[in-house]
A and B are shown apart, each in its own frame.
Chain A
Amino acid sequence: MNSISITANGLSKDFNRSTIFKDISFSLSSPASLSIIGKNGAGKSTLSKIISGLLNSTRGSITYSVNEKQIEIEEFKHHIGFVSPYLNLYDEFTALENLQILSRIRTSTHQNSERIKEMLALVELWDRRDDIVSTFSSGMKQRLKYAFALLHDPAVLILDEPTSNLDAEGIEVITQIILEQKKANILIIATNIKEEANWCAKQIQVG
């Protein structure tokens, strides 16, 4: 397994003349886990987006390394699995099609039909694989997002509100996934639920 590290230095984000957060720094080396806590609207989602390369910070920097070698985010993002309430998959396609199409665009080697089947089975959506996503409940969509996030066997899992929309069963499945991830890889969770925050070793408060 690769040894991964993420180091953030003085990350700050401004939006429309006000500062959302400033001077966030941390250092993570696999295996590691970090929870980002804070009130609603404090900037947890924003920070998680910055770490996953979806957003640029206003100030500060973040570096990613694989096996001691520093890598740019454009390449590193294929080591990241991301789940968020703001993430949406294509609701005109079926669950299976979504995973097939997105994995083809990603062109990573991990993704073949075996792996897709494995992931859909893991989140218990295999028998709904040929249903159009627009017919899914929000809980099912959330589970599909996990299948999408884990498809390429990422070394880093970044979860923004990991259990939103999930029923008890769904939460059980996710908890399993998270515990697996913590063992050898990097896990980052943004949440305002204390129990979830306690899944992680380190903690950062935003806002």
Chain B
Amino acid sequence: MRFVKHSAIAFITFVILAGIAIPIVPQPQGWLEFPIIPGLEEKVRSIFFHVPMAWASVLGFLSALYYGFRYLQTKDFDYDIKSVSSAGLGMMFCILATVTGSIWAKFNWGSFWNWDPRETSIFILLLIYGAYFALRSALSSDEVRARLSAVYSILAGLTAPFFIFVMPRIVGGLHPGAKGDTAGSTPVAQLHMPPNMRFVFIVGLVGFSLLFVWLLDMRVRIARIEYQISLKEN
């Protein structure tokens, strides 16, 4: 885990430095210069942070789902600890992604919120997290709470394919890569990024994933200790 921690810090520091410091010029020479992408210019820098955060929030949801599923299989309470810790982290990243995306939207398209499919999807993810925690707080028994929140996370996961694949096809959108965008086409790696930008971007994705793993590990360890303490008290 120390390796994960150090790599996460290293990668993200690199992304922060490269993402913010590398100048954007009309004719990039060599590695340390980014090209101007029409329509985005300086605003492209947020892609190094906003997208990995959105990715981390999805990662949080997938882990919560996976650990919930394992809980239902084994009834081992440790899985519930991991599930709720993942969900908490996922929710935090979701809020960050929504806020960074919203700020970018203001500068790029003129308003903070537009209901484009990707914006709607991240909002729905936020609703799912909110519902998950609302459900947990309304259940008083440990076992019932673990069981039912695992079921809910799986149900929410079942509807996820609809958002990822169906929505952007049906409803045209503003996000780079949605239907109607002439510049990009694939759902994930939208822009035609030059190799150096792509490198920083990938490092960002990996860095945030490692950050997620590290933070999750810490949260789980703390939660386990709290659980052990409360067991001793009873």
A interface, CB within 8 angstroms of B: 14-18, 58
Complex: chain A residue closest to B232, CB-CB: A17
* A and B contact pairs by CB, cutoff 8 A, 16 listed: A14-B143, A15-B141, A15-B142, A15-B143, A16-B140, A16-B141, A16-B142, A16-B143, A17-B142, A17-B227, A17-B230, A17-B231, A17-B234, A18-B234, A58-B75, A58-B143
Report Cα–Cα, A115/B141, bound state, in Å. 41
Closest CB in chain A relative to B108 CB, distance in Å: 50
* Contact residues on B (Cβ < 8 Å of other chain), bracket: under 10
How many residue pairs at the A-B interface have CB separations less than 8 Å? 16
Q: Which residue of A lies closest to B231 (CB)?
A: A17
By beta carbon, the residue of chain B nearest A14 is B143
Binding site for A on B (CB under 8 A): 75, 140-143, 227, 230-231, 234
Main secondary structure of the interface of B (DSSP, over half): helix
- Contact partners of A58 in chain B: CB under 8 A: 75, 143
- A15 proximity list for chain B (CB < 8 A): 141-143
Least Cβ–Cβ distance between B15 and chain A, in angstroms: 42
A29 → chain B closest CB, angstroms: 30
In angstroms, Cα B142 to Cα A18, docked, is 11
Q: Complex formed: what's the CA distance from A146 to B143 in Å?
A: 31
Which chain B residues lie closer than 8 Å to A18 at the CB level?
Answer: 234
Q: How far is the CA of A58 from the CA of B144 in the complex (A)?
A: 12
Closest CB in chain A relative to B225 CB, distance in Å:
14
